[in-house]
Structure 1
Amino acid sequence: MTISILIVPPFSTLCNAAFALRREVFVWEQKVPEAEEHDADDLTATHFVAIAAGEVVGTLRLLDRPEHVKIGRVAVRQAFRGQGIAKAMIHAAMAHARAAGRDRFYLTAQSDKLDFYQRLGFVAFGPEFQDGGMPHRAMRTYDRDSAQLTD
Structure 2
Amino acid sequence: MQQLQILSGSWEQFAQDAKLIREQVFIQEQQIAAEDEWDSEDAVSLHFIAYDQGQAIATARLLENNSIGRVAVLKEYRGQGVGRVLMQSIIQLAQQQGRSFVKLSSQVHALPFYASLGFIAEGEEYLDCGIPHMDMRLCF
The normalised TM-score by structure 1 is: 0.88
Q: Which runs of 5+ in 1 are unaligned?
A: 144-151
| Offset of residue 9 of structure 1 | 2.0
How many residue pairs get aligned? The number is 139
Asked whether the 8 Å contact 2:49–2:57 carries over to 1, the reply is yes
Q: Which aligned segments of 4 or more residues in structure 1 are displaced greater than 3 angstroms?
A: none
2:112 to 104, 115, 129: 115
| Offset of residue 11 of structure 1 | 2.6
| Offset of residue 88 of structure 1 | 0.6
Asked whether the 8 Å contact 2:105–2:133 carries over to 1, the reply is yes
Matches within 5 A, 1:62-141: 62-65=62-65, 69-141=66-138
The normalised TM-score by structure 2 is: 0.94
Residue 20 of structure 1 corresponds to which residue in structure 2? 20
RMSD over aligned CA atoms reads 1.3
| Offset of residue 81 of structure 1 | 0.6
Residue 40 of structure 1 corresponds to which residue in structure 2? 40
Q: Which runs of 5+ in 2 are unaligned?
A: none
Inter-partner Cα distance in structure 1 for 2:44 and 2:31: 25
Inter-partner Cα distance in structure 2 for 1:131 and 1:45: 20
Asked whether the 8 Å contact 2:94–2:102 carries over to 1, the reply is no
Over the matched positions of the two proteins, sequence identity in percent amounts to 35
Residue 149 of structure 1 corresponds to which residue in structure 2? none
